[in-house]
Amino acid sequence: MADFDIAIAGAGAVGMSCALWVQMRGHKVLLMDPEPPGSGTSYGNACTLATYACLPVNDPSVLTSLPQLMFSRDSPLSLSYAHALRNPRWMLSFLANCRAAPSRRIAGHLADLLAHADAGINPLIEAAGAQDLVVERGQLSVWSTGKAAKAAAAGLERRRALGVPWREVDPEEALEMEPGLHLPVKRAVHFHAARHLRDPLEFITRMHRAFADLGGTTLRAKAETVRASDTGVELQAGGQSLTAGHAVIASGAFSTQIKGAGTQKLPLGTERGYHVMYESEGHRVTRPVGWGEAGFYAVPHAKGLRLTGTVEIAALDAPANPRRLDYLVRKGAEMLGSLPDPDSDWLGYRPTMPDSLPVIGRSPQSDRVIHAFGHQHIGLTLGGITGRLVADLAEGRQPNVDLAPFAADRAFA
């Protein structure tokens, strides 16, 4: 008999959600991570349950404005050329997916999955006793130039066509909703169905507590190798050899580093993102506010104001880029007026496939290995539904979401 029914590698928003879902269904579960639960990329994000975020970064506008995006000091996107040259497969595929047809197809698949996001996370919020961490004030998106407001129109209509609810807010009302804004608002939109978490780390910590209370086991170790057979998997982790009925690979941007899990050849990249925290400034906004052309959010986190976002295409092991932090500090003052020096800063690694779709499903090499990674900008939002789908797969049930678009062996362009 195997040591565990299900062994999960990674305790971020995705892995922790998988662990709690399968534990709630009564399985014997092992959760492995060398770091404390929720301390990776899931720690520092924009806290938003962003059910509206179905438009991928892969957008035709990236192709037309690439030079301007990359060479401007004020660009929310930056690219390490050395990294791009070392990773031509990811880079070329990412750009190919920016063409109109693939971009539209990706948005449709993301919208389909996002439509289940609340149903996936709500039972976890309840099981974790985390209702007090959830704030129902929506997300406000603002644009400060007429040109950017106009450019946003097509994307907003595409969202509406995909079933995402939003409401036009006139600039005066936007400033009433968020009086801390110092921008000349040209257009504002309220995604009223969105919610945010006061503190994602606290949410994951409480999920972990619920998991342990239900009998789940945690091992503070890295999963190194997986060997699958017809009857189960054998894992090497932290010098130990363990057996389980199924292994779940949910190690975010590091998911291709586990040997034998059918992930090593997948084109998983990372979109690095940053945050700066101002402990005494949490009152500046009352909900996540995204500044469209600047590519970041101001968020009221339980521990202060968090300015977070931007995209940096660079290596996982490259040092933090001080220019990216300087950008957030400068633009933050433009958005909200003068701010003190930040109290802390952070760099995280969005796990991103070149088509911006996550990998959720059984490994093409073995039904005993389940993949759950690559959630790019929306892993906090999609962790819950991913966990429920993984639980269905591990139990041999037919999930109620079509997983074909998220298969590891799909064509990435």
Ligand X SMILES: Cc1cc2nc3c(=O)[nH]c(=O)nc-3n(C[C@H](O)[C@H](O)[C@H](O)COP(=O)(O)OP(=O)(O)OC[C@H]3O[C@@H](n4cnc5c(N)ncnc54)[C@H](O)[C@@H]3O)c2cc1C
Site residues (vs ligand X, CB under 6 A):
9-15, 32-35, 39-42, 45-48, 50, 222-223, 250-252, 254, 257-258, 273, 275, 308-309, 348, 350-351, 373, 375-381
Residue 261 beta carbon to ligand X: minimum distance, rounded to whole angstroms: 9
Q: Which is nearer to ligand X, 162 or 186 (CB)?
A: 162
User: How distant is the alpha carbon of residue 180 from its chain centre?
Assistant: 27
Of the candidates 106, 136, 20, which has an alpha carbon nearest to the alpha carbon of residue 391?
20
Closest separation in Å from C-beta 301 to ligand X? 11
Complex with ligand X: residue 103 or 251, whichever CB lies closer: 251
User: Rounded to the nearest whole angstrom, what is the least distance from the CB of residue 345 to ligand X in the complex?
Assistant: 11
Q: Which is nearer to ligand X, 42 or 97 (CB)?
A: 42
End-to-end CA distance of the chain: 42
> Strand ranges (DSSP E) for 262-365?
269-278, 289-291, 296-301, 304-313, 344-352, 359-363
| Residue 35 vs 74, nearer CB to ligand X | 35
Shortest Cβ distance from residue 134 to ligand X (Å)?
13
Question: What whole-number distance in Å separates Cα of residue 34 and Cα of residue 8?
Answer: 12
Of 13 and 181, the one with the shorter C-beta distance to ligand X is: 13
Alpha helices in 97-168 (DSSP H): 100-114, 117-127, 146-161
Which residue number, 12 or 282, has a Cβ lying nearer to ligand X? 12
d(CA 133, CA 273) in angstroms, rounded, equals 23
Q: Tokens 């959010």, residue?
A: 297
Q: Which is nearer to ligand X, 76 or 232 (CB)?
A: 76
Query: CA-to-CA distance for 112 and 106, rounded, in angstroms?
Result: 10
Min dist. Cβ of residue 336 to ligand X (A): 17
User: How far apart, in whole angstroms, are the C-alpha atoms of residue 222 and residue 295?
Assistant: 34
Helix axis angle for 379-394 and 117-127, nearest 10°, is 90
Beta carbon nearer to ligand X, 183 or 380: 380
Residue matched to tokens 């996002």: 114
Smallest gap, in angstroms, from Cβ of residue 242 to ligand X?
Answer: 12
Q: How far is CA 395 from CA 27, 151, 245, 331, in A?
A: 10, 46, 10, 48
Pairwise CA distance, residues 368 & 19, whole Å: 16
* Closest by Cα among 8, 10, 6 to 252: 10
CB of 238: closest distance to ligand X in angstroms? 9
Provide the minimum distance between the beta carbon of 377 and ligand X in the complex, in angstroms, as a whole number: 5
Distance CA 121, CA 21 (A): 10
